[in-house]
Amino acid sequence: MSNAIYYVSFKLKKNASIPDFLLAAEKLNNEFISKQKGYVSWQQLQDGETWADIITFDSMEALENFKNVSSNPTDTALAFYSFINLPSCKMNAFSVERSY
C-alpha cells in the first residue's frame, strides 16, 4: 500500500502573526492530526506569501477518513483556520506512485 499526501496551499490573512499561526498549527497537530489513524507526518512550507501543508498518511483510506472527521472541525482546528485566508485554499489528495 502506498502513502497518500494531502496537499493544501493557501495564504494567511493580512497581518496574521506567523509565530502565532505556527503555534496554532503545532497545537492542532499535537491534539488532533497526529492522533488520526494512518498519520505519518505534516510538513509546512512557505514561499513568500504562499504556504503549503503536506500531510502524509499511510494510505488513501486513512487520508479520506481524516478528511471526513475534519469536516466537523474542533475548536483547535477553528483556531488554526482563523489565520488562513480561506478563499485562497487549494486542496488535493495524491497517492504516492513512486519514491526515489
Summarised one tens digit per residue, pLDDT across range 31-84 is 999 999 999 999 999 999 999 999 999 999 999 999 999 999 999 999 999 999
What pLDDT is recorded for position 55? 98
d(CA 96, CA 12) in angstroms, rounded, equals 28
Q: pTM for the complete prediction?
A: 0.93
At 1 the pLDDT is 65
- Domain holding 32: CATH number? 3.30.70.100
Cα separation, 62 vs 79, whole angstroms: 24
- Has residue 69 been placed in a domain? yes
Owning domain of residue 65: 4-95
89 lies in a domain? yes
What is the separation, in whole angstroms, between the first and last Cα of the chain? 16
Q: Per the domain annotation, does 100 fall within a domain?
A: no
Reduced to 3 states, what is the DSSP secondary structure of residue 91?
strand
Residue at 75 is within a domain: yes
Looking at the domain assignment, is residue 63 inside a domain? yes
The answer to whether position 29 is within a domain reads: yes
Total tally of structural domains belonging to the chain: 1
Average pLDDT of 1-6?
91
User: Is the confidence at residue 30, as pLDDT, over 80?
Assistant: yes
95 phi and psi angles, rounded to 5 deg: -95, 140
